[in-house]
Structure 1
């Protein structure tokens, strides 16, 4: 073969190789760039000043309804005398007065509605914890004080409708009529069921019909029967706990039917199918002691629900987790009291625009908004 034909043969082989590589690349999944991962900036002026000289106490829960409104349940009784000085007799100072327990805000931070507390025909909880608003216009709230073993159901205007359980002693993790200091709820709108992370007293997820309130099913860690026997303190070097710790702090349901449960003290998320079949578990910051590393979960609102966001109240950060495999792809937040920082970030929610809303307990006593700044909703 002469030099010219040999050169043409080499060029042709190179062209074929490049074409094959290009075709292979087209078949590969699109790589994830930094712009694909949710990133946020705090909005320090959100929410706007409350009316009526009101002030928030510890915030026991936060959620977003179908209109994009943000609902908060807070603890008026957690305020100290210097914080509620205007409510004392005689007044100690010009400010402030405890706000009602349930508040509804719009995306700009305007207060739209406020209600809650003891009323006729029901017993209010001793310490407010957890709030959910379903598509039928009902508000579900719980509590985690002694004997707060019920979930209360109201209209959006605060009219009492019904309750699951009672403000009375718990009967344990395998009783189907009573709860155990429930931490949070989630609504499966397709099945018309309410899932309860139950909770600070019990060690289970329990499911009820959202209309009739009839018991449907329950399960513990790994989908097994829950056991209330005393467990040893969490030890990151020990084998994984075979029961949920207290509290079972959150439950969330993805569009594909996977159910995510926060086992806070054990630093893990366990994943189930709706019937309680165990799928997998992921550990995060496994050496975290104290109050644990997994406090709440929110599901990212892109069409594939690509990510989970997880609030960590002990390390005071929010992790961004790839839902396909549980890998951490980012985080934001830091321990502190400035805007964008946290002290015991307790609960969180995300709206359809990718805005994240957080709630803090202990001395935090505030809510914050973080605006999406990346292209993570495409």
Structure 2
């Protein structure tokens, strides 16, 4: 092969190689993760966590969790018993804020004046204005609460006591999760463990706006079988609600193993079934976009005890991490999920899991 021919061959080869690399890079790969076994750092003050029932990140990349102090057993809180049973431990306050390195920044929460703290904490969300929203799912927990970041009470929607059903304009029914639209000043509530709907309220005043059930229809409180991806109604619990940047609303219909997608008005758009053979407590416990592009969804599946990566547009499974177990990177009842600006993932576990974990996105 002469010099000119070899030069032409090399040019063609480089062109093909560069083109292939560009296509591969633009197409991208589903995100992958590895556990950070040192996050968070040990708690101060001899504190211990109970079931960790919510996690969220804020605009400062701080990580917030809410846990259930009443789920801490006597052998775990032996230092508080009279007579003292053991050197450790003391229940931590319900709401804790960490930085990305795992340092505890502050902790607060619990019963106080002017509001009704839930008996079984469930869900935490930090809205774009920095306010902290929490809920509860005990039999009498029919409200959500709004606080400043230092724990000052701002607003309560609903009240404890009797439920008024899934078509009430004033009362919630064991709400699980919430998400705020800062443009419209509206809070969307996954309502919940008793009610079977998405309910929307003014996030400043608490005034009722609208609500809907599965497929955008009026919700029904009739008893229906779970694990039915074709059910005309939401099952219990309606476990998460997430607003996307394209103004769609994604809802976790946990016990029916599906995700339903709506316009903000409640008009039904589409649905995605997920791990439909799952029984137990269902497969779709929480979901969140993996990053700002929102191309992928991360699904917290607390029955199969894994986090799954799906294509948001069609629900195609692209990968997963975790399995049932007690070691770092494994799960027992993975319950909620959050991401920070670097794409790191934070998970929390209930039942006897009682912990939060961090997973770093591979570069």
Query: Which residue number in structure 2 is paired with residue 69 of structure 1?
Result: 62
With the length of structure 2 as denominator, give the TM-score of the two structures: 0.92
For 2:105 and 2:53, the matched residues in 1 are separated by 19
Number of residue pairs aligned between Structure 1 and Structure 2: 348
Query: Which residue number in structure 2 is paired with residue 15 of structure 1?
Result: none
Cα deviation per residue 1:318-363 (whole Å; 9 max; x = unaligned)? Answer: 1101012111111111000000000000001011110000000000
1:364 to 341, 348, 353: 353
Query: Which residue number in structure 2 is paired with residue 281 of structure 1?
Result: 271
Kept after mapping to 1: 8 A contact 2:215/2:268 = yes
Cα deviation per residue 1:248-283 (whole Å; 9 max; x = unaligned)? Answer: 000001100111100000000001111111111111
Shift of 1:234: 2.9
2:177 maps to 1:184: yes
For 1:338 and 1:46, the matched residues in 2 are separated by 13
Change (3 A) 1:97 1:271: same
Structure-to-structure mapping, 1:1-378, within 5 angstroms: 30=23, 36-235=29-228, 240-302=230-292, 304-374=293-363
Shift of 1:32: 7.2
Runs of 4+ in 1 over 2 A off after TM superposition: 29-36, 232-235
For 1:248 and 1:259, the matched residues in 2 are separated by 13
Cα deviation per residue 1:19-46 (whole Å; 9 max; x = unaligned)? Answer: 9xx99xx8xx945789621101100011
Kept after mapping to 1: 8 A contact 2:227/2:276 = no
Shift of 1:305: 1.2
SS in 2 for 1:36: coil
For 2:118 and 2:312, the matched residues in 1 are separated by 34
With the length of structure 1 as denominator, give the TM-score of the two structures: 0.89
Q: Bigger CA drift: 286-295 or 322-331? A: 322-331
For structure 2, the 5+ residue unaligned runs are 1-11
For 1:124 and 1:89, the matched residues in 2 are separated by 26
Alpha-carbon RMSD across the aligned residues, in angstroms, is 2.0
Query: Which residue number in structure 2 is paired with residue 12 of structure 1?
Result: none
Whose Rg is larger?
A: 1
For structure 1, the 5+ residue unaligned runs are 1-18
Cα deviation per residue 1:155-193 (whole Å; 9 max; x = unaligned)? Answer: 111111110000121100000100000000011122211
